[in-house]
Structure 1
Amino acid sequence: MDSIIMGVGSIGLALVLTLIGVPVAVALGLIGLGGLYLVGGTILLTSAAETLAYNALNQYSFAVIPTFILMGILANRAQITGDLYEAFYRIMSRVRGSLYLVTVLSSAGFAAISGSTIVSAAVFTKLSLPQMSRFGYDKGIGAGCIAAAGTFASLIPPSIMMVIYALLTGESIGRLFVAGVVPGGLTAIAYLIFILILVRVRPSVAPRVDRVFSAREKLQSLGRIGPFLILSVIVIGGIYSGLMFPSAAGAVGAAGALGIAIWRRVGSPKEIRDALEETAVSSGTIFLVLIGGLLFARFLVYSGFISDLVDVIGESGIAPWQVLVAVILFNLVLGMFIDTVSITVVTVPFLHPIMVELGYDPIWFGILLIKLIEISAISPPIGLNLFAVIASARSVVTSGELFRGVIPFLCVEFVLLALIVMFPTISLWLPNLVYGQ
């Protein structure tokens, strides 16, 4: 019981420190080091401090994080995202609610070449929201649609959150990527169906746009999405065909995005340097959080917290489904107050072994957690995607309008969450088909 009290106390302290503004890497790292000292004294503390960071990050698989981040940044600067949006818009301009639909489709496409939900939300706020405002769309629903569709980058591979989960748990990155395809596609389809129903029930939220594009204009816009198709084939095709590991696919994709930027004359030395600096800052932040999380996880293991907690759950007679419900509620509540990366790094080290011990498939549980992360990213009051939209909108939409507009999409997400829980095959069918049982 001492180990359980110590573990629960350390988790609570980590959450409190994060809530009051202490950087999550600092909070987890200090608690992890302090806990290791209490458990094993100076020897265990110095051993972990000297070796863990190097041994953990000295893995080829970690290269996938900066390469996918760089690919997404370069793809955006090469205007690939704008071309994709324009192509969908020209094709669907006469459909009521077309700007909502185009945002969903473009976000799903962008997710296939970028693993960052925040970048996706920021990009499409600048692309979509001015057009929605211009044509009289409901700004709250529009901003909510942008924020919600931005979360596709968590579930549609390549996903940075999948990589973090895999690195924290030792699960296969490739298997997780494949497992996200069906749930990600299902989410996008559910959004499209919901929007079509919404604009029929409430026509005022999406006035009909009379702008018509000729067949030639539509073909011209389709011709400009060639670079997007090339990148998608390189990255997704390379991973799923087995020709490339995810880390290699990210590097090749980043090189391809750089080549497209130079070809389009938007890859000046300054632009490339800025993209590299942005990648370095983003990657460094994630790596620091991961180091702190690994120190924290090592403390939980050495303290006996995880094994003792599994024993207590087994002896208590609590059914596995009850534990699952508790985990879901726990993550949903945390998501309203703590950013998604922090939630993952704090909770995965102890939740993953417990859920596996209870008989749940670790790949399915990873997809479930990522779905919860999607919901967290658009949960008021501090969902990260909500902040990204507000910051990028520049007073076009208020926080109150955004919170109101995102609620319907949260309802859709809860329905999808229930389906993933009730039907694990949604997540496991494709990876089992590709990799075998």
Structure 2
Amino acid sequence: MELGALGQGAASIGAILVLLFCGVPVGVAMIAVAGLTMYLSVNPNFAFAMFRTLPYAVTSNYTYVVVPMFVLMGIIASRAGIIADLYDAAHRFFSRMKGSLYISTIMASAGFGAASGSTIVAASVFTKIALPEMRRYNYHPGVSAGCIAAAGTLAALIPPSIIMVILAVLTDQSIGALLMAGVIPGILTALIYILGVRVFVGIRPDWAPPIEDRFTWAERWQSLRRVWAVVVLAVLVIGGIYKGFFAPSAAGAVGAAGALAIALVMRRFSLGALWESLLETARITAVLFFIFIGGLMLSRALVITGFIREVNDLIGVFGITPAGFIAIVILVYFILGMFVDSVSVMVITLPFIFPMSQTLGIDPIWFSVLLIKLVEIAAITPPIGLNLYAVLTAAGSEVTARQIFIGVLPFVLLEFVFLALLLSVPEIATWLPAQMRG
């Protein structure tokens, strides 16, 4: 029995999900299923031609050079100890506040987001720096780990964001506009976290015992001298893109060069560290480009089979409204995010969800920020949230999976508070890119 366009598309997506649950890497799963779909639905020559041309078209596209450059920038910034300086400065300024270590972690993570586009890197490094301090002062282990995991997701919004670049590539949008769209949502998310922490520790004082450390204002101001690196990188990258001094692809190179220069000036970097940073960048970039190729192949397969056209026609037949569509997307991402890693969810769903959103007339920049926010929630949603496992791996025996799964729930609740604000006030995401274009 022949499957229609809808049946073929649904079977392809279902096959990918089954492969993911079996442990097949997302890039491999998408390329294999997309290739088989084109082989069966069109002809073998078309499928083989796609395998020959698409990988080269992706890897030779100059625009995508921003990916390895942003990755290198974050790795160098992490190895240079910038994150430890940020945390120390934040701790000195907020030490007298209830829950100061939670607040310090959130503030430092937000700052580090401007120097590292990876949520995994942020969560892993902060676990090594912040968690021992939290445990030393008898902070709740699960909430401490949950705070680190949640704060790490701020790097998904605050430029330079690797996942923003992935979304821009897969949806053929302006990388610069999307990066700018994440600035205000990222800062607002951090503020909501801080206010939420203040409420939570007021209700549950045992989550954050008092800290006896006291710092003079001279000591606090002195700690700021070591955070100049983040300010310089943020001005270079965010300011350069916003003012149009250089394209996002060039901004990545400027940021990487700036991070390297700062690391050398701070004398915290060696030739060996540079070589290790380059190797790690190459490994991460190879994985990301494999995912790019898989996502674009899946998109082509769904278009060729007629799946996208049929889905768009169904929107008209059933009279789905933009609000109804958004509700469905939120539900799908929340459920899938519990079982499939966040990047996989986005790459698999974008080929048909994004065209549907444009058929309904939804603002592409606002919708992209919404998807990133949903991906953030997925990254800290038990049982598969990647950031949770990044923290668990870095923490060793300090925290159990059960503790972090329960401890992160207050921050998942705070994410939904921001989600409600984003749905109510779309300008949170669209205002800054509009000013840049203006």
Shorter-chain TM-score tier? over 0.9
Find the aligned partners of 1:139 and 1:61 in 2 and give their Cα distance: 43
Count of paired positions: 436
Select 1:388's aligned residue among 387, 390, 409: 390
Find the aligned partners of 2:338 and 2:295 in 1 and give their Cα distance: 20
Q: State the 1:109 CA deviation.
A: 0.4
Residue by residue over 1:142-170, the C-alpha shift from the partner in whole angstroms, topping out at 9 and shown as x without a partner, is: 11110000000111111111101110111
Residue by residue over 1:327-355, the C-alpha shift from the partner in whole angstroms, topping out at 9 and shown as x without a partner, is: 11111111111111111111101111111
Is 2:349 the partner of 1:347? yes
Corresponding residue for 1:368? 370
Q: How is 1:119-130 mapped onto 2 (pairs within 5 angstroms)?
A: 119-130=121-132
- Quick one: which amino acid aligns to residue 235 of structure 1? V
- Quick one: which amino acid aligns to residue 350 of structure 1? F
What's the Cα RMSD here? 1.2
Corresponding residue for 2:137? 135
Residue by residue over 1:28-75, the C-alpha shift from the partner in whole angstroms, topping out at 9 and shown as x without a partner, is: 001111111122212211221111111123212211111111111101
Higher mean C-alpha displacement, 336-345 vs 186-195: 336-345
Find the aligned partners of 2:283 and 2:216 in 1 and give their Cα distance: 44
Corresponding residue for 2:413? 411
- Quick one: which amino acid aligns to residue 75 of structure 1? A
Q: State the 1:179 CA deviation.
A: 1.1
Q: State the 1:413 CA deviation.
A: 0.6
Corresponding residue for 1:62? 64
Corresponding residue for 2:277? 275
Find the aligned partners of 2:226 and 2:318 in 1 and give their Cα distance: 61
Residue by residue over 1:69-92, the C-alpha shift from the partner in whole angstroms, topping out at 9 and shown as x without a partner, is: 111110111111111111111111
**2:382 partner SS:** coil
Seen in structure 2, the aligned counterparts of structure 1 residues 219 and 318 have a Cα distance that, compared at 3 Å, is closer
Select 1:182's aligned residue among 169, 181, 184: 184
Select 1:245's aligned residue among 227, 232, 247: 247
Corresponding residue for 2:5? 3
Q: What is the TM-score when the length of structure 2 is the normalising length?
A: 0.97
Select 1:200's aligned residue among 202, 207, 215: 202
Find the aligned partners of 2:210 and 2:124 in 1 and give their Cα distance: 26
Q: What is the TM-score when the length of structure 1 is the normalising length?
A: 0.98
- Quick one: which amino acid aligns to residue 427 of structure 1? A
Find the aligned partners of 1:213 and 1:423 in 2 and give their Cα distance: 40
Is 2:321–2:360's contact at 8 Å kept on the other side of the alignment?
A: no
Residue by residue over 1:262-310, the C-alpha shift from the partner in whole angstroms, topping out at 9 and shown as x without a partner, is: 2233321211111111111111001011111111111101111101110
Find the aligned partners of 1:288 and 1:368 in 2 and give their Cα distance: 25
Find the aligned partners of 1:24 and 1:202 in 2 and give their Cα distance: 41
Corresponding residue for 1:288? 290
Find the aligned partners of 1:410 and 1:373 in 2 and give their Cα distance: 12
Is 2:20–2:340's contact at 8 Å kept on the other side of the alignment?
A: yes
Residue by residue over 1:396-436, the C-alpha shift from the partner in whole angstroms, topping out at 9 and shown as x without a partner, is: 11111111110000001112112212321221122122214
Higher mean C-alpha displacement, 323-332 vs 417-426: 417-426
Corresponding residue for 2:317? 315
Higher mean C-alpha displacement, 318-327 vs 62-71: 318-327
Runs of 4+ in 1 over 3 A off after TM superposition: none
Percent identity reads 50
- Quick one: which amino acid aligns to residue 151 of structure 1? T
Is 2:227 the partner of 1:225? yes
Corresponding residue for 1:103? 105
Find the aligned partners of 2:230 and 2:7 in 1 and give their Cα distance: 52
Structure 2 residue runs of 5 or longer lacking an equivalent are none
Corresponding residue for 1:113? 115
Is 2:109–2:151's contact at 8 Å kept on the other side of the alignment?
A: yes
Corresponding residue for 2:160? 158
Find the aligned partners of 1:236 and 1:84 in 2 and give their Cα distance: 18
**1:151 partner SS:** helix
Higher mean C-alpha displacement, 425-434 vs 123-132: 425-434
Q: State the 1:206 CA deviation.
A: 0.8
Find the aligned partners of 1:416 and 1:393 in 2 and give their Cα distance: 28
Residue by residue over 1:307-337, the C-alpha shift from the partner in whole angstroms, topping out at 9 and shown as x without a partner, is: 1110122112233322221111111111111
Is 2:349 the partner of 1:330? no
Select 2:399's aligned residue among 397, 400, 409: 397
Corresponding residue for 1:73? 75
Residue by residue over 1:167-188, the C-alpha shift from the partner in whole angstroms, topping out at 9 and shown as x without a partner, is: 0111111111111111111101
Corresponding residue for 2:304? 302
Higher mean C-alpha displacement, 105-114 vs 89-98: 89-98
